[in-house]
Chains A and B, each alone.
Chain A
Amino acid sequence: MSETTTDHGGRWPRDDDALAEDLTEVLRGTPGLVDVFDARPRREIAAAAVEQGVGRGLEALGLDAPGVDVGGRSSGAGPRGLVHVVRRADGHGTATAHVATDLAASTPVVLAEAAARLRRHLADLGERPDAWAVRVVARLVDGEG
């Protein structure tokens, strides 16, 4: 099981997955942000890919297995939660996002707004914003000059 889902402070693993999905959707609405990339560590992505592959295989056989998601992620649409969420037992957490920004926008402004949106969403969910470290990294500046 991935780091995201083992370090969840007593919550069900799906909580962090759902939070990652929420935060990904929040990011997608940021002006000047043109894409969200998978920020999970490579080993975690690889583990998820194996899991998806197992899921697809089971699905093809008409089977199911506990703990294997054969839903949306097996549709070929890719992972839905691209923000890497790590929540600790003491209530602290980190949310890391990797994004592409628009060439026509100012990247520092876009990243600051993206981070602010993530923090607001965490607060809306009842999380203590000061307990979370939010990191947003531009991996690409894209778009037409």
Chain B
Amino acid sequence: MTPPDDASAVPDGPRPSPDDLVDGVPLEELVDYLDRGREPRDPRIEGSPACRLALQALQRVSELTLESLQHEADRDPGRDDRWISGLMGTIAREVVDGRAVPLAAPAPGVGTALTKAAVRGLLRRAGDAVDGVLVTATELVGDVTVPEAPVTVRLAVTVRYGVPLADLADALRVAVTAALARHTELNVVAVDVTIADVVPPAEEPGGAR
């Protein structure tokens, strides 16, 4: 695997800390809650949109990284821990972005919107659904608070080795564009994809890849 020596491939802000909070809940607590199968139900976590967004992302990180990163974690746990903590820190920052992304008013006196965090959660979902991809960071460049303003989507992704990168980038653009068209009214003018990392496929039984 080629996790970065530092978290530079997980862009967007300062280094994460083990004390990163999501809506007042430490990330570590969210991870533990997820590990327990979200039982017993914690109303403080389940009642927080930011925590729910983080749980969504962490769940997919858990599923996707277990198969492809586990052997690397065994080989060099320090590097993998740094990579994972960088990713978790990025997720923690993305899920608390409460700026409104407005929708057209359906009637006088009515306002509807999504939060920017919800939109970034959509981007992660759409990207992670593409085979061989784990979204490491998302960004919306442009003034999303102004209807019709041009917006560029930026995705940083980790991909499985061997997947044709051009095809993968095309698949990501299709997935992201479709998700945003269904759930938002953003005027997306470009989807920029950065391959931040490449990981080998999971080892098959017997050691073959």
Contacts and interface: CB of A to CB of B under 8 A. Distances in A.
Interface of A: 37-38, 76, 78, 98, 100-101, 103, 106-108, 111-112, 115-116, 119, 129-130, 132-142, 145
Q: How large is the interface on B (under 10, 10 to 19, 20 to 34, 35 or more residues)?
A: 20 to 34
A138 to B, nearest CB: 4
A134 B118 contact: no
Contacts of A139: 49-50, 114-115, 117-118
Contacts of A140: 49, 52-53, 118, 121
A89 to B, nearest CB: 19
Given A112-B106, A116-B107, A137 B112 contact: yes
A98 B49 contact: yes
Contacts of A78: 43, 47
Nearest to A113: B106
Q: Is the interface of B mostly helix, strand, loop or mixed?
A: mixed
A137 B52 CA distance: 15
Contact of A137 (B108, B115, B122): B115
Contacts of B185: 108
Nearest to B106: A112
A129 B185 CA distance: 26
B183 A141 contact: yes
Contacts of A107: 103, 114, 182-184
Contacts of A132: 109
A142 B122 CA distance: 9
Contacts of B103: 107-108, 111-112
B98 to A, nearest CB: 8
A135 B107 CA distance: 11
Interface in B80-133: 100, 103-104, 106-115, 117-118, 121-122, 125, 129
B56 interface: yes
